[in-house]
Structure 1
Amino acid sequence: MERLLSPSMHRRVLLLNLLNGPSSWITSDYLAENIKCSKKTIMQDCQYLEDRWSDYLTIETSRKFGIRLIASPHRSIHEIYIEIIQESNAFSLLESIFFEPMKSASYWEKKLFLSNSSLYRLSNLIGSALKERNIQMSRSPYFVHGKDERQIRYFFTCYFIEVYGIRDWPFHLDKELIFQLANKINEKFELELNDSQAVHLAYSIAVTIIRERQGFLIQSRKDPINRFVKKTIEIREFKADIEEIAEPLKVVLPDDWYEDFCYSIFWWDFGWDNEQEKANIIHQAEELVSTIQNALSISISDQSRVSIVRLIEYIYAKHKMFPYKKFMVYDRYLYSSKAIKQNFIVFTAVVNKALEVLEAKMKFPWRSMYLDGILHEMAIRWENLSRITDEMRHQLSVLVLSDLGREHAKLLSSILKENFQNKITLSIQDNHFYEQPKNIFTQRYDLYVSNYAVEAVDEKVNMIVEDIPSFKNLTDLRRYIDRRRLVLPKDIAYLNV
């Protein structure tokens, strides 16, 4: 959907995507090659981003190192993407058509202050982008439709969540009542939704009610869902809740609203072609979790296992219904997974390999399409994953040296122990500085911490600190130690993935 942005803003989004990830420098040559523009344009776009969103980020440039983005600790880069979408004429038109379908071209020209040619151009952009998701937009009058109404509802649910999130609420429906109903459904049918899924359910309910109110009902209903709906007559108990929420709209929902509502809301739990397919997915999910657990020799709680199995089942059912990109401009999973890949290197490698094997086995895009999302969700759902994986990591052997003597070396050692605890194993020089034996460095250490340059060791493993380590000294040490502890074995095949 990035094509709905202007060419210049689309290019700046690509630039932001590349800069908003690694903490290291990126060369302008690399950026220009990937974005397919000149280095001059890259620098101009960097200046634009920094001028426009100075409260959110700072962009540093260096002739030697290149370009890097430093995010503000008080703002989220996510908000920049939201502003970009909200300021796009094409996205504004698409959202307006959702809320007011069946309006003429002249209506939109007048309401959105668009010329006839601008409306035509934006309509073509929207139509082309929607077509990639098996959705269509008619222009006489303007409305969104498709072969599967569920796909349309799911698309708009994803759109509104990305643009408005939990803090804002774009619907003329009572937010509190919508969430109350979502919680009732979650508890009643034991869906075991986490918070993000509960938000998705609430948005789905709002979108479903609005589409039903507009007369867009699901026409094609497969037998498994229909049988479930007909057996689940107690869903009528929610009719009063729905009508209370819809009351401000001054409309009456269709007589068979509950079948349409069920078919739209419960697709991930009951939208299976057959029970054998569902059982197979659950089995494969169980095997996936066991493979990762056994490969890393780490523990997992029963609750975490159930939650991750449920996640895999949910992704599969969701993909069956909507096998397209779920985000408009900002792929939240992509950015969170970058941090996971940096901080959980071995875990990431094992999950990546396991999903690759499962993808080949099932002919389903587990790795190619859902790696980032699965990493993100697993990091959340696998209880104590950070602590468990940290315990797996290599403890760095550290030798502490000081030209002020053993007593000072002991002080440095105590400071390091307090700050890095079980991440390192500490040794201290045995002799006075002025009487060190020549063979003091026969034993090799991962790191030498000293208040002077130690000529007998490679400077790459010698971190020099002040006599009393400064905040910067400790920050540099922490970065070095964490990076060294994350080193991945060259061959991960031994993990039996």
Structure 2
Amino acid sequence: MLELLAKKQRRQMRLLETLIREKRWFHLKELAEMLDCTERSLKEDLSNLRTVFDDFLIESSTNGIKISYDDSIGIEVVYHHFFKESVAFSLLEYLFFHKDVSADRICRRYDLSQQSFYRLIRNINQILQEKYNIRITLNPLNVEGDEIDVRFFYSQYFAERYYYLDWPFPDIREQVITDFITFFYKLTDYPLSFSLFHSYRIMLTVYLCRIKQGYRIELANKYGQYAYLYQDLPKINEMLHYFGLQLGVEFTEETIEQLFIIFLQKRFYFSPEDLIAATKEDAVTYKSYNLAKELLERTSQAYGLEVPNFDEMIMHIHNTAHLERREIFAEYLLYDTKSNTNGDYKTLFPKFYQDVEESLYQYLVAMGFHENPENLKHLVYTVFSHWETLLPQLLRRRKAVKVLIISRFDDNHARSMIDFLKFYCTDNFEFSQLIQHDVTISELEKSEYDVIVANFMIPKLKGKDFICTSSLTLLELVEKLNTLFYDFTRQED
């Protein structure tokens, strides 16, 4: 969806992403080549960005260009700005809240000529139709098409466009939505976590707004299958009447189905027990269960791992694959958060990551799902994030890094350093102090140790990682050792 930004906006966003991601000095020529622009354009961009982003310090010196900022500032500041500045995204948000808008009204609001207006609509529709099968209709203007994708697009838009704890729906009281979600969620055994709650309040509010405007997802009615969940609750009719008055909608069985359609769809399960029971009656669920089961068994055995939440992992893989783009952050518009997170997993465990990705791809193909990169990326994230104790298990299976500590002061100093390092470093280090009194450089080079640490220089030492601590604090030494650990273990995985 980057194409919805103007060319200059895309370039400026890529510039900030590059400076923030790399955290180093760039020469103007290097940046200009990366961004395929002139140095003059780049200078204008930097001047503009310095004015717009008070939270970022964009430095210029003989070393080039570098950005610095406080740890409390997140990169989402960048994306919020470009969402706000984009006429295309602003128009789409306006149409979400206003149905049956005239072209003249949009032209006046955004100061557009008729020609510019129709060119903008054509560009938006080309992008939306290609990815979501939705479009802006004319005379009057509305966003229509595949209603599932319309709702997903807007759910993802509001999740990215506004800060996580902001409330972007001025006509709907946040507390009422909170009470409504809490009331209905008690009907399931699924834990309502912080992240799920904030995602669902965005999704359900988007669904509610679309329902109030008369839009429906065309699916076979299923509310009869699920009505038993709430019909016998005490005072259910009074509660539905109360929420209806507060939210401005009549809660019929169809309204409830449309609102909770993400949970009422076939083959979505709230518990592993429900999924396992369904395998006896539904061939697709049976196939999905066994493929996911084989995937987990094969992967865990190949790497000597345990899966403490085995049945839950099968459910998570199954549900994630079946939901596709009905979950917030399953795909992205501008802010690719999942790739950043998956990138960390891939950097730390490249071989394991590749094997998991390949296995999940085969699962998607076998199930006949869309095996596009976004679906696959979301599934990989699900495995890494939902597999209990996976990361510590992967770290512990790695070979320990052997470190020799040498002090020119005395043995007690070396022992005190080891005590400190054992406390602050990971469990994947084995620390020893030098016992031999007449060790030579050749013997150090042939020793079993991966890293030599000393508080004096050993200029001719070869074939070993060497750290001289004469100008380092102990905490800086910890940081360097942990960095070395990741360098060592990436080669093993």
Structures share a fold, TM > 0.5? yes
Q: What is the alpha-carbon distance in structure 2 between the residues aligned to residue 168 and residue 52 of structure 1?
A: 21
Q: What is the alpha-carbon distance in structure 2 between the residues aligned to residue 190 and residue 242 of structure 1?
A: 21
Give 1:2 deviation, angstroms: 1.5
Give 1:9 deviation, angstroms: 0.8
Contact 1:359 1:367 in 2 (8 A): no
SS in structure 1 opposite 2:449? Answer: coil
Report the equivalent of 1:5. 5
Report the equivalent of 1:169. 167
SS in structure 2 opposite 1:37? Answer: coil
Give 1:34 deviation, angstroms: 5.5
Choose which of 474, 482, 485 in structure 2 pairs with 1:481. 485
Contact 2:57 2:69 in 1 (8 A): yes
Report the equivalent of 1:493. none
Letter in 1 for 2:461: V
Letter in 1 for 2:439: Q
Q: What is the alpha-carbon distance in structure 1 between the residues aligned to residue 325 and residue 429 of structure 2?
A: 48
Letter in 2 for 1:37: C
Instruction: Map residues 155-234 of structure 1 onto 2, 5 A cutoff.
Output: 155-164=153-162, 166-171=164-169, 172-191=171-190, 194-218=193-217, 220-222=218-220, 226=221, 228-234=222-228
Q: What is the alpha-carbon distance in structure 2 between the residues aligned to residue 181 and residue 31 of structure 1?
A: 50
Contact 1:452 1:464 in 2 (8 A): yes
Give 1:336 deviation, angstroms: 1.6
Give 1:377 deviation, angstroms: 3.4
Report the equivalent of 2:89. 91
Instruction: Map residues 237-386 of structure 1 onto 2, 5 A cutoff.
Output: 237=231, 241=239, 244-247=242-245, 256-263=254-261, 266-267=264-265, 269=267, 275-302=282-309, 305-319=310-324, 326-359=331-364, 361-362=366-367, 364-365=369-370, 368-386=373-391
Letter in 1 for 2:382: E
Is the alpha carbon distance of 1:407 and 1:192 closer, same or farther for their aligned partners in structure 2, counting shifts above 3 Å? closer
Is the alpha carbon distance of 1:70 and 1:342 closer, same or farther for their aligned partners in structure 2, counting shifts above 3 Å? farther
TM-score, normalised relative to structure 1: 0.81
Cα offsets for 1:340-382 (capped at 9, x unmatched): 2233445423322322443454454557333433343334322
Cα offsets for 1:364-411 (capped at 9, x unmatched): 455733343334333432233333222122211112223345444334
Letter in 2 for 1:151: D
* Structure 1 runs not aligned, ≥5 long: 490-497
Q: What is the alpha-carbon distance in structure 2 between the residues aligned to residue 482 and residue 414 of structure 1?
A: 21
Cα offsets for 1:273-323 (capped at 9, x unmatched): x93212322322233333332222122222xx344333322332223879x
Percent of aligned positions that are identical: 22
Alpha-carbon RMSD: 3.6
1:403 paired to 2:408: yes
Contact 1:358 1:366 in 2 (8 A): no
Q: What is the alpha-carbon distance in structure 2 between the residues aligned to residue 283 and residue 300 of structure 1?
A: 16
Q: What is the alpha-carbon distance in structure 1 between the residues aligned to residue 61 and residue 224 of structure 2?
A: 64
Report the equivalent of 1:37. 37
Contact 1:352 1:367 in 2 (8 A): no
Is the alpha carbon distance of 1:339 and 1:263 closer, same or farther for their aligned partners in structure 2, counting shifts above 3 Å? closer
Give 1:475 deviation, angstroms: 2.5
Cα offsets for 1:238-264 (capped at 9, x unmatched): 776565445356565788434433546
Contact 2:96 2:143 in 1 (8 A): yes
Report the equivalent of 2:392. 387
Say which is worse superposed, 33-42 or 164-173, in terms of deviation: 33-42
Is the alpha carbon distance of 1:448 and 1:79 closer, same or farther for their aligned partners in structure 2, counting shifts above 3 Å? same
Is the alpha carbon distance of 1:295 and 1:14 closer, same or farther for their aligned partners in structure 2, counting shifts above 3 Å? farther
Is the alpha carbon distance of 1:136 and 1:107 closer, same or farther for their aligned partners in structure 2, counting shifts above 3 Å? same
Contact 1:21 1:338 in 2 (8 A): no
Q: What is the alpha-carbon distance in structure 2 between the residues aligned to residue 268 and residue 201 of structure 1?
A: 19
Give 1:41 deviation, angstroms: 4.5
Letter in 2 for 1:436: V
Q: What is the alpha-carbon distance in structure 1 between the residues aligned to residue 23 and residue 245 of structure 2?
A: 51
Report the equivalent of 2:272. none
Say which is worse superposed, 351-360 or 4-13, in terms of deviation: 351-360
Cα offsets for 1:207-236 (capped at 9, x unmatched): 222122112223x324xxx2x323333477
Q: What is the alpha-carbon distance in structure 2 between the residues aligned to residue 417 and residue 375 of structure 1?
A: 33
Letter in 2 for 1:199: H
SS in structure 1 opposite 2:404? Answer: strand
Is the alpha carbon distance of 1:233 and 1:374 closer, same or farther for their aligned partners in structure 2, counting shifts above 3 Å? closer
Q: What is the alpha-carbon distance in structure 2 between the residues aligned to residue 331 and residue 140 of structure 1?
A: 34
Contact 2:13 2:78 in 1 (8 A): no
Is the alpha carbon distance of 1:169 and 1:243 closer, same or farther for their aligned partners in structure 2, counting shifts above 3 Å? farther
Letter in 1 for 2:133: N
Equivalent pairs, count: 475
Q: What is the alpha-carbon distance in structure 1 between the residues aligned to residue 398 and residue 62 of structure 2?
A: 34
* Structure 2 runs not aligned, ≥5 long: 270-277
Is the alpha carbon distance of 1:90 and 1:245 closer, same or farther for their aligned partners in structure 2, counting shifts above 3 Å? farther
SS in structure 2 opposite 1:425? Answer: strand
Report the equivalent of 2:457. 453
Say which is worse superposed, 263-272 or 127-136, in terms of deviation: 263-272
Cα offsets for 1:137-174 (capped at 9, x unmatched): 1121111111x322212221121122235411122222
